[in-house]
Amino acid sequence: MAAKQRKTFDIFARIKRGGELIHIGTVEAENEKLAKVYASFTYDEEDWSEMIVVDRSQFVWVKKPHGLFAQKGERVR
């Protein structure tokens, strides 16, 4: 089923110039083009000055919060 080929994209946006870049949500899409369309239609609560979709699998984590119940010594994925 096509659903299995979908990827998760995180969405970041800035309301106006000089404002903070904030994480506003996520969408699932087969590719970047569709992710852009889904993001702009789903998150239309502001007239954003910037909006970015990022494939979650491409995140390079430098630091993550340590899970409260993560096993001792286990690295947070």
Partner 1 sequence: MDQAALLKEKIQNGFIVEGLEDMNEEYLNALKQTLTIVGDTELLSIPPLLTVYDQAPTLNSKITALAIMQDEIGHAHIAYRLLKDLGQDVDELLYKREPHRWKNPYAFDFELSNWIELGVFNAFFDRAGYTLLGDAFEHTSYGPWKRALVKVDKEELFHLRNGEIIMRTAMQDPQLREEVQKAVDWMFLMALEFFGVEDRLKSRSAQLEYRLKGRTNDELRQKWLSTAVPFCESIGVKVPAHYDEEQQKYVLDVPFPCKFDPVNKKWLFDQPDTWDNVIKRFKQRGPQNKQFVERIQKGAKELEQLRKDAV
18 or 41: whose CB is closer to partner 1? 41
Contact set for partner 1, span 38-77 (CB under 8 A): 41-45, 65, 67-70, 76
33 or 64: whose CB is closer to partner 1? 64
Provide CB contacts within 8 A for 53, sequence distance 6+. Answer: 9, 10, 11, 27, 32, 35, 36, 39
Task: Compute how many other C-beta atoms are within 10 angstroms of the C-beta atom of residue 66.
Answer: 9
Binding mask 13-42 for partner 1 (x = CB under 8 A): ----------xxxxxx------------xx
17 or 44: whose CB is closer to partner 1? 44
Q: How far apart are CA 66 and CA 77, in angstroms?
A: 10
